[in-house]
Structure 1
Amino acid sequence: MDNYKFILSGGGTGGHIYPAIAIANELKEMFPTAEFLFVGAKDRMEMEKVPQAGYEIEGLWISGLQRKLTFKNMMFPIKLVSSLIKARGIVRKFKPDVVIGTGGFASGPLLRMAAAKNIPCLLQEQNSYAGITNKLLASKVKKICVAYDHMERFFPADKIVKTGNPVRKDLVELKISKTEALHFFGLNPEKLVVLVLGGSLGAKRVNQLIKEQLPLFKSLGVQVIWQCGKLYYETYKNLQTEEVLVFDFLNKMDCAYAAADIIISRAGAGAVSELSIVGKPVIFIPSPNVAEDHQTKNALAYVAKDAAILLKEKDLELDFMGVFTALLKDDKKQQALADNIKKQALPEATKSIAFEVEKLVKK
């Protein structure tokens, strides 16, 4: 019998939504007749992205706490009570066999109510510094799947399983050659390629940096694949040349990764996991505007293993030119970074998480 029922909850950002979708897809392969329901926060991106992936979703009236006193913060207790009541109704009606939380404030009320009904729950924590919702839920769940070492700082050690973060299947099975990828982009095989990634919306300071450094790239004979994000495309599209390709969004990430010699990227959990599998030298520029500065902590975990270079936004003006030029001219350093980041890869993460869910469902 595999007509199990699973609820997956998490959202607010792609870093919580896409892992949940990847886990659901893997469970669907394992249990073809299973039923799935997602629970997210009303008015957040999961309400659009989850149905696009082919799953039903229910929305809770919930949002995170702001860092200063605002009307939204004053509404938080009311939203929380409303969400707990609705979550209890969802659990009672759907009767899940297992509930999976991938972080973000929407998963809090849902997993709290499921655990209260003795339904086995599993958390998936993407970052090296655990999110507040997952920390609050840790005592209530059966298993916690993590991507980094030393997570017993945040969670009970006997519940932790190191699985890694789910990544897209096309990257795990990266089959395109560098020659094919360069041809796809129309780039010169005699010149090196820098790939710049700032997330789907874009990263303001990273984009400013790349604009400032275009003369440096030109003088070094470097070609650029620049994913500036949809918020910034209109600002930067006029900088496109034969050697500087500007995109709002990269639909063919496998080609972009295959073409790249060096990658400049934010350090969100999903990006870090993908880049480990890709195995190219990376300069991380973490976003300083995220909860608990977790992108910097993600990057530092890799720097400690000589698996990446970290540049903070506040240091870019002084340090970027020297760091980038030195890396470009040091083949041994490039190779060491590529080898060491590849060692951190956990390409079977999604399967491993689904296996942990299966163990809970068959207990």
Structure 2
Amino acid sequence: MSPHRENKVVAIAAGGTGGHLFPGIALAQALKRRGVDSHFILGTPRGEDRWLDEYGFEYTRISSTPLFRNLSIRTVNSSVKNIIAVKESLAVIHKLKPDIAVGMGAYTSGPFLISCYLSSVPFVLFEQNLIPGLTNKMLAPLSLHTFVTFEGTKLRANSIHVVGNLIRDDVKPKAKSKALKKLGLKGGRPVLVVIGGSQGAATINRTLIDAFNTGWGKDYSFVIQTGIKDYEYVSSIFREKGIEGICRDFFDDMGAVYGAGDLYIGRSGGGIFEAL
């Protein structure tokens, strides 16, 4: 630790999707309670900054992009950008001087953690999925520890620990009455929560619209998270059909969303199951 700063600093390489970023935020919240500072490392912009700004965590972007296995121009371009990202990461490490780094499995983790290895900065990995992603498969043999959600996760790593999902403080379901008030819902009808993940799910959105077009939904109140891409279309049908409830591209207060619902319809992410 640098002699000129009071708290230890953990660099968290996350981003890409909410499935990688939100567990990182949960970790940062837990570290903050213990007097440890967190600094996030993100890749190319995908809207993550809005969440980190809201939670009050600092971040730095590098030029990392997803890895592709096939031989193509896209693969070459991705490789070049990730080489640049390694150079950028070395500069970030020199400036930030983290005591340890954490990779959440996102593609951003690759260049940054390779740079940590080259700079003798220890790092650990978190794997939220049963089947590990390419980045964690590559980095697990080099990590100090690897933390997994499921006992059945197979990784060649030095030390594996089963810890379950990392859940943000504000995701825990609120009491029903408080949740309804927070979302501005009247109550009196069963509440259906429809969520396709942090970026939305086109199939879920289309299925919901098809159902609304048949006249279904009048007996329920809805809380719908569409994602950015489908928001305008879904919300317009939502208003046109006179559906009761609330429709947004993204909800910041998931504790209110989960607390208000009587039935959840959506993708079956492990984090969602644990939160519910």
Structures share fold, TM-score greater than 0.5? yes
Give the aligned residue type for 2:109: S
Q: Check conservation: 1:88, 1:114, Cα contact below 8 A.
A: yes
Indicate the residue corresponding to 1:26 in structure 2: 30
Taking structure 1 as the reference length, the TM-score comes to 0.64
Matches within 5 A, 1:72-151: 72-151=74-153
User: CA offset at residue 8 of structure 1?
Assistant: 1.4
Indicate the residue corresponding to 2:166 in structure 1: 166
Q: Which moved more, 1:142-151 or 1:258-267?
A: 258-267
User: CA offset at residue 26 of structure 1?
Assistant: 1.8
Distance (whole Å) between structure 1 residues aligned to residue 123 and residue 217 of structure 2 = 53
Distance (whole Å) between structure 1 residues aligned to residue 175 and residue 80 of structure 2 = 52
Identity of aligned residues (%): 28
Indicate the residue corresponding to 1:342 in structure 2: none
Q: Check conservation: 1:112, 1:140, Cα contact below 8 A.
A: no
Distance (whole Å) between structure 2 residues aligned to residue 46 and residue 224 of structure 1 = 26
Indicate the residue corresponding to 1:310 in structure 2: none
Indicate the residue corresponding to 1:154 in structure 2: 155
Q: 1:68 to 1:55 in 2, by over 3 A?
A: same
Indicate the residue corresponding to 1:293 in structure 2: none
User: CA offset at residue 106 of structure 1?
Assistant: 1.5
User: CA offset at residue 63 of structure 1?
Assistant: 1.0
Give the aligned residue type for 1:230: I
User: CA offset at residue 74 of structure 1?
Assistant: 1.7
Indicate the residue corresponding to 2:248 in structure 1: 247
Distance (whole Å) between structure 2 residues aligned to residue 250 and residue 264 of structure 1 = 15
After superposition, give the CA deviation of every residue in 1:192-224 in whole Å (9 maximum; x if it has no partner).
3321112344221111111222347448x4443
| Equivalent position to 2:194, from 180, 192, 196 | 196
Distance (whole Å) between structure 1 residues aligned to residue 179 and residue 79 of structure 2 = 52
Q: Does 1:224 align with 2:209?
A: no
Q: Check conservation: 2:25, 2:168, Cα contact below 8 A.
A: no
Q: 1:54 to 1:231 in 2, by over 3 A?
A: same
Structure 2 counterpart SS, 1:185: coil
Q: How many residues end up aligned between the 2 structures?
A: 266
Indicate the residue corresponding to 2:14 in structure 1: 10
Q: 1:244 to 1:55 in 2, by over 3 A?
A: closer
Matches within 5 A, 1:322-341: none
Give the aligned residue type for 1:205: T
Distance (whole Å) between structure 2 residues aligned to residue 225 and residue 6 of structure 1 = 36
For structure 1, the residue ranges without an aligned partner over 5 or more in a row are 279-363
Q: Check conservation: 1:200, 1:230, Cα contact below 8 A.
A: no
Q: 1:246 to 1:267 in 2, by over 3 A?
A: same
Indicate the residue corresponding to 1:206 in structure 2: 204
The CA RMSD over aligned residues, in Å, is 2.8
Distance (whole Å) between structure 2 residues aligned to residue 127 and residue 275 of structure 1 = 13
Distance (whole Å) between structure 2 residues aligned to residue 141 and residue 249 of structure 1 = 34
Distance (whole Å) between structure 2 residues aligned to residue 94 and residue 246 of structure 1 = 40
User: CA offset at residue 65 of structure 1?
Assistant: 2.9
Give the aligned residue type for 1:10: A
Structure 1 counterpart SS, 2:21: helix
Give the aligned residue type for 1:250: F
Structure 2 counterpart SS, 1:27: helix
Structure 2 counterpart SS, 1:195: strand
Indicate the residue corresponding to 1:304 in structure 2: none
Give the aligned residue type for 1:266: R
User: CA offset at residue 247 of structure 1?
Assistant: 3.2
Q: Does 1:38 align with 2:40?
A: yes
Taking structure 2 as the reference length, the TM-score comes to 0.82
For structure 2, the residue ranges without an aligned partner over 5 or more in a row are none
Matches within 5 A, 1:169-188: 169-172=169-172, 174-177=173-176, 179-182=177-180, 184-188=184-188
Distance (whole Å) between structure 1 residues aligned to residue 95 and residue 256 of structure 2 = 45
Q: Check conservation: 1:171, 1:274, Cα contact below 8 A.
A: no
Q: Check conservation: 1:11, 1:103, Cα contact below 8 A.
A: no
Structure 1 counterpart SS, 2:147: strand
